């Protein structure tokens, strides 16, 4: 059996998505900037995709710009907002994705901003009182960059509360919504966030596709200069088949969002309860429950002589999951997220992340292999 439980890293392309992409990989290859029929055809496909995304997020079409994914969108917002709005302070956290932490570090190194890291509780949640203090202190000179959901531990942020706080103090707010777009309803008329980002490959769309939402009363300057594509916001011939696939994937996910949510959540709960029966000393890293992504289960396993090999052992058994090591020494950098949590360094951490393609049978197989691993490890440690 082969089990893929690394869906927070990327997901399989949905066959219905591939189907709508195919014509643009074959006969509909016109450059959307060309004025002839071939070009008009692909231009219309891009605008239709934009309309779909805007509709599902309750945004206007003029607020959606296509990019190559979550990393580009975050870089665009952070770097361009700093220049355009004379931002002097970025308020963020130590557990953002590197597509946020690294540009913030670069901006600070360049002397453009001062970075402030909000305090987190022992489960990795933003301490709201600390955020309120920072936002009140730096107000209109600040940009707040906090992710809607953490890709490693799954914690969800109260994005409405943060958006309202920023609004109250005149601060800009960018939320990396890469792990929540197409998984949770997002209503941009109700949530006064200024910028969000999305990536198609996190919801069964193609890799190298994404978008940035820029609220209509805000403007950013482009990161790439060249042609006038994306209304001068992003130069370069558009990834038409990718854009068409992105919109189809988002549409399919949102059309079934409640069904997928409850199925995937039940998979997560099942794996947790079965693992707990098999290996009682497991712990959850981050939140568990409604304030956590239903797609992510980050588990801390007891330390033993073999725990370093846990993730390799899963791989040998054809189980794909992510290692989330808290270790900081040597060449193994470990997870910058887990490092911020009070986890014993000797424990082995595994992020299991689910999709609608997973089954209970797959999870039974994972539990059986984990149980076997711990039984062997237990015996070996008794011998040595």
Q: What does the binding site for ligand PLP look like in residue numbers (CB under 6 A)?
A: 69-71, 97, 99, 147, 151, 176, 178-179, 199, 210
Smaller CB separation from ligand PLP, 69 or 242: 69
Smaller CB separation from ligand PLP, 32 or 70: 70
The residue among 292, 243, 213, 246 whose CA lies nearest residue 8 is 292
Hey, CA dihedral for 319, 300, 70, 105, is it positive or negative? Answer: negative
Smaller CB separation from ligand PLP, 191 or 313: 191
- Nearest approach, Cβ of 37 to ligand PLP (angstroms)? 32
Q: Is 166 a catalytic residue?
A: no
- Nearest approach, Cβ of 158 to ligand PLP (angstroms)? 17
- Nearest approach, Cβ of 245 to ligand PLP (angstroms)? 14
Rounded Cα–Cα distance for residues 18 and 13 (Å) = 7
- Nearest approach, Cβ of 6 to ligand PLP (angstroms)? 11
CB distance 203 to 357 below 8 Å: no
The residue among 229, 267, 193, 202 whose CA lies nearest residue 8 is 202
CB distance 156 to 287 below 8 Å: yes
Smaller CB separation from ligand PLP, 97 or 347: 97
The residue among 99, 248, 100 whose CA lies nearest residue 90 is 100
- Nearest approach, Cβ of 10 to ligand PLP (angstroms)? 8
Active-site option among 80, 166, 221, 327 = 327
Which are the catalytic amino acids? 327
């Amino acid at each position: 059996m082969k089990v893929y439980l690394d869906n927070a890293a990327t997901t399989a392309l949905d066959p219905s998505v591939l189907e709508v992409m195919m014509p643009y990989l074959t006969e509909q290859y016109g450059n959307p900037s060309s004025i002839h029929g071939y070009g008009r055809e692909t231009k219309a496909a891009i605008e239709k995709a934009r309309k779909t995304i805007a509709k599902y997020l309750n945004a206007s079409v003029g607020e959606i710009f296509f990019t190559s994914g979550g990393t580009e969108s975050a870089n665009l917002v952070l770097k361009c907002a700093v220049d355009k709005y004379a931002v002097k302070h970025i308020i963020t956290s130590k557990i953002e994705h590197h597509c946020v932490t690294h540009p913030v570090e670069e901006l600070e190194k360049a002397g453009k901003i001062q970075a402030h890291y909000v305090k987190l509780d022992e489960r990795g949640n933003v301490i709201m009182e600390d955020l309120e203090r920072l936002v009140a202190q730096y107000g209109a000179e600040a940009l707040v960059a906090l992710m809607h959901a953490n890709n490693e531990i799954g914690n969800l942020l109260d994005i409405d509360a943060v958006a309202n706080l920023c609004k109250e103090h005149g601060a800009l707010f960018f939320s990396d919504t890469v792990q929540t777009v197409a998984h949770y309803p997002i209503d941009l008329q109700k949530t006064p966030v200024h910028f969000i980002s999305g990536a198609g490959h996190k919801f069964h769309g193609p890799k190298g596709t994404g978008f940035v939402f820029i609220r209509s009363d805000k403007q950013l300057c482009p990161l790439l200069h060249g042609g006038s594509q994306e209304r001068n916001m992003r130069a370069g011939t558009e990834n038409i088949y990718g854009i068409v696939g992105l919109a189809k994937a988002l549409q399919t996910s949102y059309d079934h969002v409640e069904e997928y949510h409850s199925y995937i959540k039940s998979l997560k709960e099942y794996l947790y309860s079965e693992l707990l029966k098999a290996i009682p000393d497991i712990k959850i890293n981050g939140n568990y429950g409604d304030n956590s992504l239903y797609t992510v289960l980050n588990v801390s396993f007891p330390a033993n002589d073999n725990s370093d090999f846990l993730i390799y052992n899963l791989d040998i058994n054809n189980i794909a999951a992510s290692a989330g090591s808290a270790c900081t020494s040597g060449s193994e950098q470990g997870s910058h997220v887990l490092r911020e949590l009070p986890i014993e360094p000797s424990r082995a951490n595994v992020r299991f992340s689910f999709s609608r393609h997973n089954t209970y049978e797959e999870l039974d197989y994972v539990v059986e292999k984990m149980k076997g691993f711990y039984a062997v490890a237990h015996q070996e440690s008794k011998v040595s």
